[in-house]
């Protein structure tokens, strides 16, 4: 798959394409052609998903590789290889990992396809929805070596006024879905957090759109 083409693939999946492929496969592993997978990546992540049916999205860690003087240099980070559930809290809309380290259950795609819009970043969208559904997990083990270069999407994130407005509107839509969906387990803390976010989003949008 060509560089950044995995993003288009996930968009196509969310738009209802590749139904025959999804019918035969319960797990989706996005990838870029210039990322380096560890040999046991699919085996390890698949085993975790099979042992934990409540996991909707599983991410691994990654070792970034930076270009320095024409050579690729790996970072030397250490991880405990433990499995962690990402809890629902007020930071639900931030902190997602890149799509290339994700293993996505088909059920997550099917449950959330009706709210998908093409202007949603696919990895942030699925990460947030998995948190809403209490099924977002991370295995703290680097199973991919991720090349960081000028072409990476993560290197082009902008935070200008229009981008902030778009992000607020996107997350507002997702929160409204979560508050009305029977798929989302509800409790007082979660309900209050979602309502508080709507108040915050509406007030900030009002201020930004007045300027």
pLDDT tens digits for range 126-175: 999 999 999 999 999 999 987 765 555 554 455 688 888 988 999 999 99
Residue range 99-115: mean pLDDT, rounded: 88
**Separation of alpha carbons 103 and 84, rounded Å:** 15
CA separation, residue 113 to residues 89, 96, 107, 140, 159 (Å): 23, 19, 10, 28, 27
**What is d(CA 104, CA 191) in angstroms, rounded to the nearest whole number?**
26
CA–CA distance, 44 with 169 (Å, rounded to integer): 37
Distance in Å from the first CA to the final CA of the chain: 43
Mean pLDDT of the chain: 81
Q: Answer with the residue of higher pLDDT: 69 or 54.
A: 54
CA angle centred on 14, ends 8 and 15, rounded to 5°:
85
Neighbours of 169 (CB within 10 A): 13
Query: What is the residue whose two structure tokens read 């009706």?
Result: 114
Quote the pTM value.
0.81
More confident residue, 159 or 57: 57
The mean pLDDT of 31-44, rounded to a whole number, is 84
**Residue 71's pLDDT is what?**
53
Please tell me the least confidently modeled range out of 31-45, 79-93, 172-186.
31-45
Average pLDDT over residues 20-26: 62
pLDDT the model gives residue 118: 75
User: What is the Rg, in whole angstroms, of the alpha carbon atoms belonging to the chain?
Assistant: 18
The answer to whether the beta carbons of residues 143 and 101 sit under 8 Å apart is yes
């Amino acid at each position: 798959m060509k560089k950044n083409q995995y993003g288009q693939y996930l968009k196509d999946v969310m738009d209802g394409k590749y139904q025959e492929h999804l019918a035969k496969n319960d797990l989706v592993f996005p990838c870029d052609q210039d990322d380096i997978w560890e040999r046991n990546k699919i085996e390890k992540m698949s085993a975790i998903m099979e042992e934990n049916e409540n996991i909707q999205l599983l991410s691994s860690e990654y070792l970034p590789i930076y270009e320095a003087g024409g050579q690729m240099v790996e970072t030397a980070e250490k991880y405990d290889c433990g499995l962690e559930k990402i809890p629902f809290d007020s930071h639900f809309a931030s902190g997602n990992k890149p799509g290339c380290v994700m293993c996505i259950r088909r059920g997550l795609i099917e449950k959330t396809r009706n709210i998908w819009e093409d202007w949603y970043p696919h990895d942030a969208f699925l990460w947030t929805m998995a948190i809403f559904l209490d099924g977002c997990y991370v295995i703290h083990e680097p199973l991919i070596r991720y090349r960081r270069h000028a072409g990476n999407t993560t290197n082009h994130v902008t935070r200008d006024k229009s981008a902030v407005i778009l992000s607020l509107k996107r997350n507002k839509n997702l929160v409204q879905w979560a508050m009305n969906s029977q798929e989302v387990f509800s409790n007082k803390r979660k309900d209050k957090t979602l309502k508080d976010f709507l108040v915050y989003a509406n007030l900030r949008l009002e201020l930004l759109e007045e300027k």
